[in-house]
Structure 1
């Protein structure tokens, strides 16, 4: 019963957080804690179920805990290899493979500690699992809430649509990833234009990189106008080099022409929630929506996005991880 009460409290905090501002990582944590305590309450209450159900549930839980990590690690490794073949060996493309190999490494360490009954290995394994448990919990919170955030209805009162840049092919051409954003941005623009009243403005946001022949925003605008989009409805923000600058410089343009305006920001779906967190920090009144991304791209991209959010709150997160390591060390010294 206590677990259900705690779950209800966190669910209320989650609801209040969403009503206050959808673009808060705290909402993801509240939702994760609510689901966790709800699961605990259900597990403890399973004894009161009809005969055989409790045993079946426990077997399923043990199978998930035992085989789940092995299957997940294998899938991550397979996806990592595919990612390298399709996208090259850049560090960001290695994340899924490294995560899968890391999971296999932790499993090997755990088995070795059990077989050898080494106290040092046991403490090391326990500490590692505690830290990984904390990080994994936050990761699941991030993925779960990002999924929900990406399915929230597009606001109907936005004055601007801001499409974030992502690099050009050969320094000139729009790649498929960016084309997906632009097509989604056009779709959002047309929905907003259909509402009546003042027509929205679409901002293409992206500066010129050292290996690019023109600013990304110019290539993006050309992509749209070449496909019939009205040139007078496009504004080019061509100074930004990072997502943070995309937000800040686009905000300057919006405030210059329509003070107090709101916007819908378009990026790829794996990047939407982190972009929403950045928009909130930059003071941009905007909802972020995502465009489709190839399935094989998701694991590495999601891991990268989570790592960036984790480090965004590095004082708290690294502090908790360090505390868990210290507790593990104290366990070894005090035994």
Structure 2
């Protein structure tokens, strides 16, 4: 038990150092997840010393979570997926929670079939699949947990720019509710920065970032600027970045504008809350000195959006992650071949 607590303390130290160096590192999420995991192991190891009845209660609760938790989660994801399709259409990005829920049901059925047969190959296949899902699930929980913490960090007060990321237009011209929430949050952040005492001529600037898609009549940034100005935002405080097509380009092209006018400047980047942590990782990789904050998003949109964000982050570290996944598959093949 003491060993597990010691390991947890080491990972917690790594987490603290990582956050102090740069809050936008995905490694911080992994360190925190490992620290919590080893604390849990230490607590379980010491459960036998707990008062009478506590160990039994913990065991029953654990069995219920392990037995019913996946079924409940799969059901909720499937139901959310159906709702997403009804509200947002059948685009691939809107199917993620539905596919995740159905996939979980499929794995559970496969595990039951494997448990009732004597097929060594099927046993090894299910075991390998469970190990792969365990690794990915651990990273997913780390991602969600740290993204929650990151989204609640205090907004910096010394930023020179507020950068609002684009997200597509309705009918090629109009700002949709999702983007409007970003713009409203960006304006609130801008006004908060402007309220602090600043040197003369050093007022913050709001950058709207988004180029023109193939189905859009004008660049997203132009529609975003029009949305703000029509609601009383000062036109001279808005700068349009109208070349970007991806989050990476949002960061790079906005950085060019900021460095051109105020070299060495800092910024607060505004996106939706489900996208904030991935945008922070992208900003770090692009060399942007910026904190990312999120705007509110409809609850039903969260599961699919969060899965999409995690997949994107997972693939940003594909050498490590795919290497570990291939190693687990290789171990499963070797175990099957050794029979």
Cα deviation code 1:24-83 (max 9, x no counterpart)? 000000000000000000001111010110010011011101100000000000000000
Question: Which residues in structure 2 correspond to 1:98-117 (within 5 Å)?
Answer: 98-117=99-118
Q: Distance in 2 between matches of 1:102 and 1:211?
A: 33
CA deviation vs aligned residue, 1:173-195 (integer Å, no higher than 9, x gap):
00000000000000000100001
**Counterpart Cα distance in 1 of 2:236 and 2:307:** 39
Match of 2:272 among 257, 268, 275: 268
- The corresponding residue for 2:308 is 304
Q: What CA distance in whole angstroms lies between the structure 2 residues aligned with 1:2 and 1:296? A: 42
The equivalent residue for 1:229 is 233
Following superposition, the deviation at residue 126 of structure 1 comes to 0.4
SS of alignment partner, residue 212 of structure 1: coil
Between the aligned partners of 1:278 and 1:300, the Cα distance in structure 2 is 20
Count of equivalent residues: 335
Correspondences of 1:53-92 after superposition (within 5 Å) = 53-92=54-93
Query: Equivalent residue of 1:116, what SS?
Result: coil
TM-score for the superposition, normalised by structure 1? 0.99
Matches within 5 A, 1:123-272: 123-197=124-198, 198-272=202-276
| C-alpha distance in 2 between matches for 1:120 and 1:206 | 51
Please give the per-residue CA displacement for 1:222-262, whole angstroms capped at 9, x wherever unaligned. 10010011111000111111111100110011001110000
Matched residue, 1:329: 333
Separation in structure 2 between the aligned mates of residue 4 and residue 55 of structure 1, nearest angstrom:
23
User: Aligned Cα RMSD in Å?
Assistant: 0.6
Partner of 1:49: 50
Q: CA shift at 1:117, angstroms?
A: 2.8
Quote how far apart the aligned CAs of 1:161 are. Answer: 0.0
- State how far apart, in whole Å, the 2-side matches of 1:196 and 1:89 are: 49
Q: TM-score, normalised by structure 2?
A: 0.98
Q: Structure 2, unaligned stretches of length 5 or more?
A: none
- Structure 1: which 4+ aligned runs deviate by more than 3 Å? none
Q: Which residue is equivalent to 2:9? A: 8
Deviations 1:289-331 (A, max 9, x none): 0000000000000000000000111111011001001111111
State the secondary structure of the residue aligned to 2:240: strand
2:317 is aligned, of 313, 317, 324, to 313
